[in-house]
Structure 1
Amino acid sequence: MKIGLLSDNHGYLDDQIKSHLQDVDEIWHAGDIGDISIIDRLTTLAPVVAVYGNIDNHITRSEFPENQILKRHGMTFLIRHIAGRIERYNVGTREILAEQKFDALICGHSHILKVQYDKRYQLLYINPGACGHHGFHYVRTLITFHIDDGKIHTMNAIELGKRGAIEQ
């Protein structure tokens, strides 16, 4: 199963993002969608699983939860927009991690692409960075990866170009 993972669109979706998601089985969105129409456009490519982020309005919050727990091909994933820093998560994230074992924690919010194994919680921390133009990041990013038999493999961090370099 191939996953396309993105976060922090802030209402922006270009053809370059869509081209990297053409062959995925599912799209996972870690929040700050910015406009519900982004989801409508993504669902033309693949089924979408999403959480709302701190900038998302009441419409997006009525469509998507704060947290998603997914089981795919022998792995359990927690997706939430704001989780805090690796190994020093915010209270809400720590409460969820205390209740259930996860193989991976997926979050957004920081606009910083980061994939790192968390020894303390024994899970893979994945933040795809930001694929929109709003924020302090320099390069827009997303991630693709495969899940098979309880393992993540073939993970690719994809650079989409500089933030603010909107094509006309």
Structure 2
Amino acid sequence: MFRIGVLSDTHDLLRPEVLPALSGMKHILHAGDIGSPQILDNLRSIAPVTAIRGNTDTHGPCALLPATEMIELAGRFFYLVHDIAQLDINPSAAGVDCVIFGHSHKPSFEERHGVFYLNPGSCGPRRFNLPITLALLEIDADRITHRLVDLTHT
């Protein structure tokens, strides 16, 4: 079992509940609007991190991150893009198993044409009265499963 933590839209706030929620992950994916590079350093204390920049990562080290990223983990391909409206590939044709995105702060998970689309929501400052969430993925030989972790009341 390969476990991946997925988060987005930290906006310079790494809540104390995030690190324990990601304990035991083999890899962490951050879908942008990071804020401080210190957030990525803290996440790296748990597992390797793949991160992209978001629309608010306009200066400093996070501005140098790529806008999109494709990564293979446990034999599955993940494509990271901050704003799903800016998806610049056909995931199904590109062999992508899961598209990871953020931006809206609204957690969602759906399957389209054999590709999973996951928005872990935001685990940074609370906005728009939405929950504070991140996602956990588990990969085994047959499938990818997900679980949304609601940090709103922790």
* TM-score, with structure 2 as normaliser: 0.90
> Equivalents in 1 of 2:127, 2:18: separation in Å?
17
| Paired residue secondary structure (1:102) | coil
Map of 2:62 onto structure 1: 60
Rg comparison, structure with higher value: 1
Identity %: 33
SS in 1 for 2:119: strand
The question of whether the paired residues in 2 share the 8 Å contact of 1:25 and 1:47 is answered with yes
Q: Distance in 2 between matches of 1:39 and 1:57?
A: 16
Residue of structure 2 aligned with 1:152, choices 129, 134, 144: 144
Structure 1 or 2: larger strand share?
A: 1
Alpha-carbon RMSD across the aligned residues, in angstroms, is 1.8
Where is the helix percentage greater, Structure 1 or Structure 2? 1
The number of aligned residues is 151
Determine the C-alpha separation between the residues in 2 that align with 1:51 and 1:129: 15
Aligned counterpart, 2:116 = 124
Q: How far 1:74 moved relative to its partner?
A: 2.3
Query: CA deviation digits over 1:22-63, x for unaligned, max 9?
Result: 11111110000011111111111111110000001332121x
**Mapping for residues 58-137 of structure 1, pairs under 5 Å:** 58=59, 59-62=61-64, 64-84=65-85, 90=86, 93=87, 95-97=88-90, 100-119=94-113, 122-137=114-129
Please tell me whether the aligned partners of residues 112 and 137 of structure 1 are also in contact (alpha carbons under 8 angstroms).
no
Q: Deviations over 1:90-144 (max 9, x none)?
A: 4xx1x4117622111110001000000113xx31110000001153242100001
Structure 2 contact 6–120 (Cα < 8 Å) conserved: yes
- Cα distance between partner residues in 1 of 2:72 and 2:131: 31
The question of whether the paired residues in 2 share the 8 Å contact of 1:130 and 1:137 is answered with no
Unaligned runs of 5+ in 1: 85-89
The change in CA–CA distance for 1:80 and 1:150 in structure 2 (over 3 A counts) is farther
Q: Please, what TM-score do these two structures have when normalized by structure 1?
A: 0.83
2:15–2:123 CA contact under 8 A, matched in 1: no
